Structure 1
Amino acid sequence: MRPLYGLLLLTFRELWAKKIVLGLFLISSLVLLVVTFALNLDVVEGSLEGIRLFGQNAAPSGEGAEAQTQMTLNRIVVTVESVVAGAAYWIGILLSLFASAGLFSDVQAPGRVELLLSKPVSRTQVIVGHVIGVWAAIALLTIYLMGGTWLVMSIKSGVWNPRFLLSIGIVIGMFGVMYAAVMLMGVWTESTALALIVAYGLIFISMVLAGAGEIASVLGPVGRPVFWGLYHALPNFTEVTTIVTSLSKDQAVSSWYPLISSVLFARRDF
């Protein structure tokens, strides 16, 4: 257990030394500041009288204004949370992959890997310790950003959407899925650039696979099973976006299959 703990600390130190954690933390903090000061509520004698978003009045007026104001507030909160969740999913994961992709290549550098393996640790422990360290760091940053957004919006508005918290786990999990692809290519090729190209290529392919129903219908008897095989074998990064959005908007999830198949892809990689 102690060797694994030491490898975790080593990974955290590398992330900090390369300013990866600091950079992502500053970006997350900036987003939280914007969210904190974007929404202002006018409450008079315990009743919500007005809503200002980025300084602009967003509250309806006229007959039934109070009920409409509450509905508008609910929509604003849901919209802000879904935008932050979508940004954390797409921009956050892409940035995190780009920032952390080179770490494992550094571990495999001649001289360093021999030094690590000269200690009482196995290759498996080195890989597991590195993966858990990177994953834990990104998880903490994701919780800080999305959890902070949820708390700020909920406390300021009184609109609590606990299902939004589930999307945090999905963002963290999908980062793990895509980082598994980066790790696999990094081990095979020892090339950070190629590992990133493959990971981003899988994301691009998932955009095509998201239209599986329409595309498969126009393919021939040979192309159709090949296409569906890719759909079930590769991570459905794009389609998982709909799950994140549904949870952020407190809506029912139509299908969990894209997430399940993506997690299975990561298990095959590891």
Structure 2
Amino acid sequence: MSVAIVVDSSMDYPSEYKWQLPVHILPLRLYVDEREYRDRYDIDERQIYQYMIDGKRVKTALPNVKETAELLSELCKKYGKVIVLTLSQKLSGTFNMIRMVVENFNLNKKVDVYDSRGVSGKIFYVLDKLINDLLNNRKICQEAIDEYSRNSTMFFVLNTLEYLKKGGRIGKLSAFIGKILNIKPILSLDEKGELYKVATARNDKDLVSTMVSLIKDFIGSEKNYVLYGGYGLDSMKDLLQDVISKFNRCDGLARVGPAVAAHAGPEVFGILVGKA
């Protein structure tokens, strides 16, 4: 059976990566001072970084319902099955919106919608595993996707909590305390795909050391693993490379895209590590 895959634009992955099955990106929407953009289509990461540095009001919204319905309907005409993978329901209403579109447009027979339990690089890791299952004629189900999510983790660092505060992800008091104490939080996602704080650092040296320890603890005695890095501004790449240099592999680097940067801010970097 021919299969197409749809994934929302909050996924970050190395630009040189080659998909083994057709992958279609459904754009989230961004608003910059009330002007609407389609994520990765009308605006790229460098533009959103600069808008945020310039102090413009940036927010995100769900994919356009009409555009979503048109894409899924067109793919259903061309393929026997359409697999949709979204960012975590704990972070966005995208999953529920797409499922509503599938039901309202009677696409249930051909379209299956799954929650990646992640965002950014974690969606990429889960999608890579999902594609491998499809190529090997394995059954696709939410339970398998949840297992892939548990087999991977993502640690990322925000240089400021200000953008999370603006996006409603943390309270004003937490952002204020972080700013006053110059605390750099290291965040991750739990098994349900919800954001939580793993650790904090007070300076770059402490930050790198803590990140390395967290990654090593997750890897444990596992010899067969993958490691990807992601970063926003070029200045964040140096810190990312400092972390990666403590390991004997790096499977690729990605830029943090507009939708994720809108909440994390441009001064962000992270590591995705998972079982190979």
TM-score by length of 2: 0.24
Structure with the larger strand share: 2
Structure with the larger helix share: 1
TM-score by length of 1: 0.25
